[in-house]
Amino acid sequence: MTTAHDTPVLDTLAAMTLDSMERCGLTPEALILTRIAALVAMDAPPLSYVAHFEAGAATDLQPEQVQDVLVAIAPVVGTARVMAAAGHITKALGIEITASAHESDV
């Protein structure tokens, strides 16, 4: 069994997250979407998205909302960051993106 002393880094991150959520005036859904935007801007690895999607599931976060965030921030963070984030997100969720027939012809 894991105790608090076995996972000091995860415990600290969890405490920081809870403190942030308690002090933030955003709705839980808006908070998760904002954090996803920040993860994209930072080029976060797939594991960083996992916890946020788990929290997002509790708020009924829809894939279309995440897609809308990616569209909204693309002009600011750039297409390369958004495409990298899409790859990280799909890896975090355990899904694959396949190219359309049109793209495979290019």
- Residue 5: band (very low, low, confident or very high) from pLDDT cuts 50, 70, 90: confident
- Residue 3: band (very low, low, confident or very high) from pLDDT cuts 50, 70, 90: low
| Dist CA 41 CA 91 (whole Å) | 17
Whether residue 30 has pLDDT greater than 50: yes
Tens of pLDDT, residues 31-57: 989 999 999 999 999 988 887 887 777
Q: Give 54 or 76, the one with higher predicted confidence.
A: 76
Cα distances from 35 to residues 5, 15, 56, 78, 105, in angstroms, run 27, 16, 10, 17, 36
Give one DSSP letter per residue of 3-39, joined into a string: -GGG-HHHHHHHHHHHHHHHH--S-HHHHHHHHHHHH
Taking the complete model, does pTM exceed 0.85, yes or no? no
